Amino acid sequence: MSEVTFASVSEPERLDGRRATPDYRLAAAGRETAEDERLDLLEQIYDPSSRRRRALVQPGWRCLEVGAGRGSMAVWLAAQVGPTGRVVATDVDTRYLSRLAIPNLEVIEHNILDDPLDVLEPGSFDLVCSRLMLFHLRDRQEEAIRQMAACLRPGGWLVDEDASWGTAGSPVDPTHPRYDGYQQVWQDGDWWAARGYDKLFGQKLPVLFER
C-alpha cells in the first residue's frame, strides 16, 4: 500500500496561475505582476511548513508536484533528491515555472483532471504532492486524488496541504455592533455558494484519502 498524509491550512488560495476559467477567480492572465506578488507572499508564509512535511524525501527519489505555481517547492524538492533524482512540476499554466532552469527539474503543462497521465509516467513516483490546489476543483477533488495516487509507485507517498476556512478564527470583536452581520456573511454568504466552493473542504481530506 502507498502511504498518505494530509495537512489543513487556513489560506485557500492556490499557488499557481491558471488559464482564465469561469471557476477560477485568481487566473493570472492580464494580472501577471499582481499574481506574481501574491504567490511570492504565499511562498513566504507556507514554504517553511511545506518543507517540514516533505522532510521524508530522500536523494534519488522521483517526485511530482501538481499545481506547482511559481515552483518554490519543486525547486526545493530538486535540491533534496539531488542529481540522481528527478522532479516533475505540473500546472495548467506554466508561465511562472518556465522561468526555472534546473537539470533535474522538468516542467510539464498538464491538467491532472483532464489530461492523460501517460506523459507523467504513472506508477513511478516516490512522492506526489500538491498544496492549496484541490480546493478549487469544485466537486472533482476525489477524482484528482485518484489520479495523483495513480502516479505513485507501490509504497510511495501522497501529500496534500489544503484549505479549511472553518478553522480560521474570526478577528471581529463579538461586542462590535456589526458582529452578527459579519458572522452571517461568513457562515452563509453568497461568496462561497455562488462559486461552488466548500469552505470546510480541508476537513474532508481524511475521508477522501481513505477512499
pTM over 0.85: no
Q: Which domains does the chain have, with CATH numbers?
A: 3-169+200-210 (3.40.50.150)
Q: List the one residue out of 110, 97, 96, 92 whose CA is nearest residue 23.
A: 92
Mean pLDDT score, 176-187: 79
Would strands 62-66 and 125-131 be described as parallel, antiparallel, or unpaired? parallel
Whether residue 16 has pLDDT greater than 70: no
Note the pLDDT of residue 188: 65
Mean pLDDT score, 58-79: 97
Note the pLDDT of residue 135: 83
Q: What is the pLDDT of residues 192-206, one digit of tens each?
A: 666 667 777 888 899
CA distances from 81 to 2, 55, 56, 162, 208 (A): 19, 11, 11, 24, 28
Percentages of the chain per state (helix, strand, coil), in multiples of 5 = 35, 20, 40
Instruction: Return the half-sphere exposure (C-beta side, CA atoms, 13 A cut-off) of residue 174.
Output: 1
Whether residue 10 has pLDDT greater than 50: no
Note the pLDDT of residue 2: 46
> What share of the chain has pLDDT > 70, as a percent?
78
DSSP per-residue string spanning 47-81: HHHHHHHTTT--TT-EEEEES-TT-HHHHHHHHHH
Whether residue 8 has pLDDT greater than 50: no
How far apart, in whole angstroms, are the C-alpha atoms of residue 192 and residue 186?
9
Q: What is the pLDDT of residues 69-114, one digit of tens each?
A: 999 999 999 999 999 999 999 999 898 899 999 999 999 999 999 9
Mean pLDDT score, 50-57: 96
Instruction: List b or e across 153-175, with b for residues whose CB sees 16 or more CB atoms inside 10 angstroms.
Output: beebbbbbbbbbbeeeeeeeeee
Whether residue 159 has pLDDT greater than 80: yes
Confidence band of 185 (pLDDT split at 50, 70, 90): confident
Note the pLDDT of residue 39: 82
